[in-house]
Amino acid sequence: MAKALTANRPILAVILKTCAIFLFTAMAALVKSLSDDIPAGEAVFFRSFFAIPVIVVWLISRGELRQGLIAKKPMGHFWRGVLGTTAMGLTFTGLGLLPLPEVTAIGFATPIFTLILAAIMLGERIRMIRIGAVLIGLVGVLIMLWPRLGSGASMQDTATLGAICILGATLARGFVQIHIRQLVQSDHTAAIVFYFSATASLLSLLTLPFGWVVPTTEQFALLVLAGVIGGCAQILVTSSYRFAPASMLAPYDYSSMLFAVFIGYVWFAELPTMAMLAGATLVIGANALVVWREHQLGLERGKARSVTDPKS
């Protein structure tokens, strides 16, 4: 019998989620450290392929391997893989061109883009509070990007190209979130996790003609480590939602900013700029507003159900 989702272990949920965020940030740092020598497409392959054994072992331990291998909508998994692989490839490219904290900060715009895309593609209704949050978030994104894309910026500038890559990755992740919302209606979460890694591994091979290199022993070990860490992070973040609702855990995503600033300074001697911090603050504030509104709506729906469907 499957274990029921419970909100009775919030401390464990927070620990799992925070550990997952740290591992994702550490994985990004590993990829960044190799970016001068390893092409982004090759890094995507190692990140995806070596996450598969970790995910398979996890599915076996949970008794979900069967569900993880059943794809009720194969084309749905394919397109989710295309979008996710595109986002990962653009992110890995951007990591080689921008400071780690800046990449992390721009990535916070994903929920804002998801909200916009949900209104356009799924017809979800956006009320005034969410509209305000979207506007605030977009202003924050513009503040962060202006030094890279504003007046005087040139496509010959690697930082400008990096900003475009990360912005494209953020938008692609927005599409991924919309696609997953549709996919979970028919397919098990285990299948979505497994087939994304499998699809990304195959799709990344298409970049072979564009200059893969034979890694050194040390580079190979770091690439494999990035894949294993990525797989473990996926498992931890998925497991965290078994013990607490997503709305409660959402604010902990922003711990990645602290991890990115620390790792960026210690490993790469990078310091966040005032524009990045100001923009990130606005984006985080906008996302917090959306989370708060979702919580309020959840409470209202709960009260409505208790009135219309009394248990006594």
Residues in contact with 310: Cβ distance below 8 Å, sequence separation at least 6, in sequence order: none
Instruction: Determine the Cα–Cα distance for residues 166 and 95; give it in Å rounded to an integer.
Output: 8
Residue 168 has pLDDT above 90, yes or no: yes
Mean pLDDT, residues 25-33 taken together: 97
pLDDT tens digits for range 255-294 = 999 999 999 999 999 988 899 999 999 999 988 888 787 7
For the chain, the farthest-separated pair of C-alpha atoms sits apart, in whole angstroms, at 69
Instruction: Using pLDDT thresholds of 50, 70 and 90, give the confidence band for residue 155.
Output: low
Secondary structure (3-state) at 136: helix
- Report the pLDDT value the prediction gives residue 4, as an integer from 0 to 100: 45
Q: What is the pLDDT of residue 305?
A: 43
The interaxial angle of helices 110-121 and 128-149, nearest 10 deg, is: 130
CB 61 within 8 A of CB 8: no
pLDDT at residue 6 in the model: 47
Question: Helix, strand, or coil here: 122?
Answer: coil
Q: Report the distance separating Cα 147 and Cα 159, nearest Å.
A: 9
Contact 39, 270 (CB under 8 A): no
**Rounded CA gap, 150 and 143, in Å?**
10
How much is the pTM?
A: 0.87
Tell me the percentage of the chain whose pLDDT exceeds 90. 54
